[in-house]
Amino acid sequence: MKGPAQVRFPGEDKRRRLKMKGIKKASETIQKRLRKNLDGLLEEPERVIPTRHEDGDFPRRDPLKKTIREMEKVINKRNNRKWLQKRMSKRRGDAQARALAGSLAAAHEEDFDTVSIFDNPAYGRHSYLRRGLAAPSDLASVQNLHAIPLRLLLWREHAKAGLWFFGGRNQTVCTGVSPILPKGWVTSGLRSAPIKLSNNEEDNEIWLSKGLSKQDIESSKITEGGWLRITFNDGTVVGIDSTQLTASDTGFVGHLSLRMLPPKLTRIAHIDWMWIPKGWPKDHELPSVTDDAVEEILEAWGDLQITDKDLVGKLKGAVTSSIDEGFGIPLIEAMRARVPVICSDIEIFKEIGNDAVIYFKKQDHNDLYNKLKLILENKIAIGDLILKAYKRSYLFNQKNFIKEFEKLY
């Protein structure tokens, strides 16, 4: 498990800090909603406390046990307003118990016409009553238990200490020092996902978006536009077509990742990018360096560092750029096709093409345009170049490969 210093949350990003916008006059709608939340908290304060997963591995010095004991003391005093007011103002003790005391004290108030506002791009905008010395984010969390990501935020320090938490509709589950998927957690998240997913009720293990079929998922079919294959640790497989990700900034990854703490989707699922560039031979694997580049991007996406909308472009760019490290079999095949050959000026292509192909500066669109124009305007010279490329392509055959390979020994 990564140590505390390596665990980060969206709210800690300097560009996306948790914002508390002071107080505002509460509308009747806000007052009713917050009153409902606080009444529910006073009636069932136990909902704030996470349950411990039966298969979870917990450390000998379990920080969660200590916090739960403190919170249970607060729950036992939930109808003692004077005690709650005293506890919510104590600087010592667990922060979660302090926030619970302040929220329960607020629940006893008959009227309130001003509220504080919690506002963050990752966790949303929520109203809460600020009481005592608890952190605003902790108070907002306790008073808005219906908001799963915000509810989990209450346990961020425990997550930094190495514990994992999963949020469901009615409860929070702590699985100890390893991320264990609670029963029904994946299905619940997929049903409420911002991208519409369908599945066969008889087979709850395969979910797919518009643009894909069950056969595509089962056969891991490579499509022209590409798609994401997400395989969860419980065996559930999800297929999302690239068009569904790029249509808008859906927030699919945030929807799933923020229902766990730390929000690291790649710890509970393996993600594959099902795409190869058009024209790449189907019987040739992509260079291994491509896998590394793609994996790095997918991990960043799972950690909420890349949006859904930007993901597909970054993945395709990583694949095409990484192909530079490959041997260049498509280049040889193009040379044998008796057509003008133009490629980027990387070393491996120069070694293969020599002076028989036309090169453009890598990632220079203007230079590519000029070289394409050259091909169209110099047909005689290009004809000679095509013949030279065709002859050179036959230097790369099995006999010569074996001969060069033997020289190494």
pLDDT digits (tens, 9 = 90+) for 256-308: 999 999 999 999 999 999 998 876 666 667 766 678 889 999 999 999 999 99
Is 268 within the bounds of a domain?
yes
Is 218 within the bounds of a domain?
yes
pLDDT tens digit sequence for 90-102: 999 999 999 999 9
Is 134 within the bounds of a domain?
yes
Checking if the pLDDT of 4 tops 50, the result is no
User: Do 304 and 245 fall into the same domain?
Assistant: yes
Is 180 within the bounds of a domain?
no
User: Do 236 and 334 fall into the same domain?
Assistant: no
User: Do 199 and 289 fall into the same domain?
Assistant: yes
pLDDT band at residue 379 under the 50/70/90 scheme: confident
User: Do 97 and 198 fall into the same domain?
Assistant: no
Q: Which of 106, 132, 154 is the last residue of a domain?
A: 154
User: Do 301 and 353 fall into the same domain?
Assistant: no
User: Do 125 and 201 fall into the same domain?
Assistant: no
Please report, rounded to a whole number, the percentage of residues in the chain having pLDDT higher than 90. 64
Is 179 within the bounds of a domain?
no
Residue with tokens 């945030």: 254
What pLDDT shows up at residue 350?
Answer: 86
What pLDDT shows up at residue 200?
Answer: 77
What pLDDT shows up at residue 408?
Answer: 45
What pLDDT shows up at residue 12?
Answer: 56
Checking if the pLDDT of 146 tops 90, the result is yes
Cβ atoms of 96 and 137 closer than 8 Å: no
Is 387 within the bounds of a domain?
yes
User: Do 15 and 103 fall into the same domain?
Assistant: yes
Checking if the pLDDT of 366 tops 50, the result is yes
Question: Which whole number is the average pLDDT over 345-365?
Answer: 86
Rounded to whole angstroms, how far apart are CA atoms 1 and 160?
10
**Least-confidence region, from 82-86, 96-100, 202-206, 297-301:** 202-206
User: Do 17 and 45 fall into the same domain?
Assistant: yes
Q: Which of 277, 310, 325 is the last residue of a domain?
A: 325
Burial per residue of 248-279, b for 16 or more beta-carbon CB atoms within 10 angstroms, e otherwise: eebbbbbbbbbbbbbbbbbbbbebbbbbbeee
Checking if the pLDDT of 17 tops 50, the result is no
User: Do 110 and 244 fall into the same domain?
Assistant: no
Q: Which domain holds residue 336?
A: 329-407
User: Do 71 and 134 fall into the same domain?
Assistant: yes
What pLDDT shows up at residue 9?
Answer: 60
pLDDT band at residue 2 under the 50/70/90 scheme: very low
pLDDT band at residue 109 under the 50/70/90 scheme: very high
**Least-confidence region, from 57-66, 92-101, 146-155, 243-252:** 243-252
User: Do 396 and 289 fall into the same domain?
Assistant: no
- What φ, ψ does residue 274 adopt, rounded to 5°? -95, 85
Rounded to whole angstroms, how far apart are CA atoms 348 and 324?
8
Checking if the pLDDT of 169 tops 90, the result is no
Is 161 within the bounds of a domain?
no
Rounded to whole angstroms, how far apart are CA atoms 87 and 324?
63
Q: How many domains does the chain have?
A: 3
Rounded to whole angstroms, how far apart are CA atoms 18 and 259?
18
Cβ atoms of 240 and 230 closer than 8 Å: yes
One-letter identity of residue 38: L
**How many other β-carbons are positioned within 10 Å of the β-carbon of residue 236?**
20
Q: Which of 303, 325, 347 is the last residue of a domain?
A: 325
What pLDDT shows up at residue 96?
Answer: 97
